[in-house]
């Protein structure tokens, strides 16, 4: 099992065709990938220009909420 497939059915079968099966779920730490206009590195934008940010998250269970912040200091 890998993080990519998130788990699956495991079946144990003996010679007389009797079997026992159970489901294994693999929890995966979220991995986020942020791009600006399709680029993962720096993008130059002129004043008044536009840029599109995209955040893709791989996680199990699925991440249903992504929160964006701008100019936040900690």
Place of tokens 């993008």: 43
Q: Does pTM top 0.75 for this prediction?
A: no
- The string of pLDDT tens digits covering residues 36-51 is 887 777 788 889 988 8
By DSSP bridging, strand 19-25 and strand 28-36 are unpaired
Place of tokens 């199990």: 60
**18 and 43 Cβ atoms separated by less than 8 Å:** no
How many degrees, rounded to 5, is the angle at CA 51 between CA 39 and CA 49?
Answer: 130
- Report the sign of the C-alpha dihedral through residues 65, 68, 72, 74, in that order: positive
Q: Which two tokens stand for residue 59?
A: 């996680």
- Report the sign of the C-alpha dihedral through residues 38, 39, 40, 42, in that order: negative
- The string of pLDDT tens digits covering residues 6-36 is 555 566 666 676 666 666 666 777 788 888 8
């Amino acid at each position: 099992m890998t993080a990519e497939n998130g788990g699956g059915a495991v079946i144990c079968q003996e010679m007389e065709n009797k079997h026992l099966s159970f489901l294994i779920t693999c929890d995966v730490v979220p991995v986020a990938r942020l791009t600006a206009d399709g680029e993962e590195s720096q993008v130059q934008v002129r004043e008044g220009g536009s840029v599109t940010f995209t955040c893709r998250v791989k996680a199990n269970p699925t991440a249903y909420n992504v929160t964006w912040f701008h100019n936040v200091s900690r």
